[in-house]
Structure 1
Amino acid sequence: MKSHRKASSPNAWARELRQTLGLSRAHFPHLRHTAPNLSYGRHTGPAYPRARQAANLVLLYPNESGTWTIPLMVRAETEGVHAGEIALPGGRCEPEEAALSAALREFHEETGHLVAADSVVGELPATNVWASNHTVRTFVAMEASLPVWNPDPKEVAALLYLPVTQLMDPRNFGMHQVTRRRVQFSAPHLSVDGQRVWGATLRMLVELGQVLTSAE
């Protein structure tokens, strides 16, 4: 497949990826409301002028059964404001570090698996994560073989594996209640292995589905 640097447009890499995964446009649910209540749509607005830059990686690979799968991680309880949350592997960019280099480096540091730059096929729209004041760029990569995982226990409590078929199935989406500073609100989520993926990570995964299904 093409690298993201050679793809002529977002539609080009998304269309090629959809064909490789064997998807049709009807497969993905059209879940457009991915932000928790009380967020006021701020994740779609401009970032703070001093927002820190971060990057992460969506890796698609075939599992033991040949089902295309996306690895997610449960952040360790030492990981600050996002401790214990489910996320895509990634992290903050170092000074003068390119976003793609940061995404590949962080993925390797957190999961133990090194993804080659030429495995990257595209990039999703950037996401503003207001809770930690980051602007996150999300890259999409694809590999044909099963990775060997060796997650860093200081950063990763566990790895979860999301088959693309589960992301495509609207029955895996729901709502739950969240309490922050004695304020309770509802938030949408995606169920993965009995756990809830929500917030910025959910937005990124649904963005992937929407890009794939909208590619012409």
Structure 2
Amino acid sequence: MTQLLPAFDPRLVPIVADTDDEVLLPAQAQRLTPAGLRELFARPPVWTPELRREPKFADRQPAEAAVLLPLVMRDELTLILTQRATHLSTHSGQIALPGGKLDPQDADATAAALREAHEEIGLMPERVEVLGTLPVYVTGTSFTVTPVVGLVQPGFELMPNPDEVDDVFEVPLAYLMNPLHHRRHAHDFEGVVRQWYSMPYLDGDRERFIWGATAGMLRNFYRLLSA
């Protein structure tokens, strides 16, 4: 799922320096494993999410949503991400986590995240070991998003829905959980300064520009893993 955004190229928005003296280190290596994550969610440390709410820039009714952070248990954990279909009228080509709005039949955010991942990319719910959730993230379009973290057994065959997804790819979790790869941007939109993170990833000769709400939720995940 991604949020509605003004029409601009986020790659061209200036990078701004952090204003504090905090020295950020990569997430602890022992937590970047299935066993480490199971232990972390079973006994979570005291921590504070960095990002909770974006400045509102769209007039729409609030809606509950959920996304899945599917972590594949390869030799090193990887995160499944999607690239939205280019024929979509909004957010075409943007990087996203599988997910969407809660439906009336969904028991909770976890059920919604698993259902959406199955509908979008063909990931079977029974292959996902749900570990827990991250704090909700409110987008500028009033989506209240619950990120659901899960471990995925490898050996699956994905079937992206062409109506929603152009591509599915994986990024090493260690790359995303290294703050050296986190860039903060600022953009003035209709008198409101919006700030967000990006985490560009070079996939072969192709840049995967992860940014906005997706990067914000991953930044919070980093804060948990480094607590």
Q: 1:129: Cα distance to partner?
A: 1.3
Q: How far is the alpha carbon of 1:109 from its aligned partner?
A: 0.8
TM, length-normalised to structure 1: 0.69
Could you say what the CA RMSD is over the residues aligned between the two structures, in angstroms? 3.5
Residue 197 of structure 1 aligns to a residue in which SS?
A: coil
* Offset, 1:21: 5.7
Report the Cα distance in structure 1 between the residues aligned to 2:137 and 2:194, rounded to whole angstroms.
21
Does the 8 Å CA contact 1:74/1:158 hold for their aligned counterparts? Answer: yes
In structure 2, what residue type is equivalent to 1:114? M
> Are positions 1:56 and 2:67 aligned together?
yes
CA shift in 2, pair 1:20/1:146, >3 Å? same
Q: Is the 8 A contact 1:43 1:130 kept in 2?
A: yes
Q: Aligned to 1:105, which of 107, 115, 124?
A: 115
Deviations 1:38-67 (A, max 9, x none): xxx84389xx9941111111111133xx12
Alpha-carbon distance in 1 for matches of 2:79, 2:93: 19
Give the deviation of 1:186 after TM superposition: 6.7
Matched, 1:20 2:34: yes
Give the whole-Å Cα distance in 1 for the aligned partners of 2:128 and 2:86. 33
2:50–2:223 contact (8 Å) kept in structure 1: no
Residue 167 (structure 1) aligned with residue 176 (structure 2): yes
One-letter amino acid matched to 2:213: A
Structure 2 residue aligned with 1:156: 165
Q: Residue 17 and residue 114 in structure 1: after superposition, are their counterparts in 2 closer, same or farther (change >3 A)? A: farther
Corresponding residue number in structure 2 for 1:13: none
* CA apart distance, 1:33: 7.0
CA contact (8 A) 2:67 2:99 kept: yes
Equivalent residue number for residue 211 of structure 2: 198
Residue correspondences, number: 181
Structure 1 residues 18 and 171 mapped into 2: Cα distance closer, same or farther (>3 Å)? closer
Consecutive unaligned residues of structure 1, counting only runs of 5 or more, are: 1-15, 26-31, 35-40
Match 1:70 to one of 79, 86, 90? 79
- Cα offsets for 1:145-200 (capped at 9, x unmatched): 2432111111001112110121133332335686968x997753101231211111
Q: Secondary structure at the match of 1:43?
A: coil
Q: CA deviation at 1:209?
A: 1.5
Specify whether residues 160 and 143 from structure 1 end up closer, same or farther in structure 2 by C-alpha distance, changes over 3 A only.
Answer: closer
The equivalent position to 1:120 in structure 2, one of 127, 130, 149, is: 130
**1:130 matched residue in structure 2:** 140
Residue identity in the other structure for 1:116: E
Could you list the runs of 5+ residues in structure 2 that have no partner in the other structure? 1-29, 41-48
How does the TM-score come out when normalised to structure 2?
0.66
Question: In the alignment, which residue of structure 1 is the partner of 2:16?
Answer: none
Which whole-Å CA distance do the structure 1 matches of 2:220 and 2:80 have between them?
A: 16
Aligned residue number for residue 37 of structure 1: none
Structure 1 residues 179 and 72 mapped into 2: Cα distance closer, same or farther (>3 Å)?
farther
The Cα of 1:19 is off from its aligned counterpart by 5.8
Shift of 1:74: 0.8
Name the amino acid aligned to 1:207.
N
Match of 1:43 in 2: 54
Amino acid at match of 2:72: Y
